[in-house]
Amino acid sequence: MNIAVIGAGTMGNGIAHTFAQSGYNVHLVDISQESLDRGMATITKNLDRMLAKERITATQKQETLKNITTFTNLNEGVKSANLVVEAATENVNLKLKIFKDLDEATGAGCILATNTSSISITQIAAVTERPEKVIGMHFMNPVPIMKLVEIIRGYNTSDETTKKIMDLSEKLGKVPVEVNDYPGFVANRILMPMINEAVETLYNGVAGVYEIDTVMKLGMAHPMGPLQLADFIGLDVCLSILEVMHDGFKNPKYAPCPLLVNMVRAGKFGVKSGEGFYDYSESRKAEKVAQMFA
Maximum pairwise Cα distance, the chain: 56
Q: Is 9 annotated as a binding residue?
A: yes
CA distance 48 to 35: 20
Q: Residue 198 is which amino acid?
A: A
For residues 237 and 217, give the distance between their C-alpha atoms in angstroms, rounded to a whole number. 22
Please tell me whether 11 is known to bind a ligand.
yes
**Integer Cα distance of 124 and 92 in angstroms:** 8
Q: Provide the 3-class DSSP secondary structure of residue 4.
A: strand
Q: Residue 117 annotated as binding?
A: yes
Is 10 known as a binding-site position? yes
Q: Which is the catalytic residue, given 118, 120, 188, 196?
A: 188
Please say whether the beta carbons of 40 and 16 come within 8 A: no
Catalytic residue among 46, 67, 115, 117: 117
The yes-or-no answer on residue 246 being catalytic is: no
Which phi and psi angles does 131 have, rounded to 5°? -60, -25
Q: Report the Cα 100 to chain-centroid distance in Å.
A: 21
Nearest one of 234, 290, 235 to 11, comparing CA atoms: 234
Name the active-site residue from 150, 169, 246, 275. Answer: 150
| Catalytic status, residue 54 | no
Is 27 among the catalytic positions? no
Question: Which position among 13, 35, 118, 138 bears the catalytic label?
Answer: 138
Question: Please, what is the angle between helix 187-203 and helix 235-249, to 10°?
Answer: 110
User: Which residue type is seen at 196?
Assistant: N
Q: Is residue 12 marked as binding?
A: yes
For 199, other C-beta atoms within 10 Å of its C-beta total 27
* 30 labelled binding-site residue: yes
Please indicate whether residue 251 is annotated as part of the active site: no
Counting every residue, how long is the chain?
Answer: 294
Catalytic residues: 117, 138, 150, 188
Q: Which residues are annotated as a binding site for NAD(+)?
A: 7-12, 30, 90, 95, 117, 141, 272
Binding residues: 7-12, 30, 90, 95, 117, 141, 272
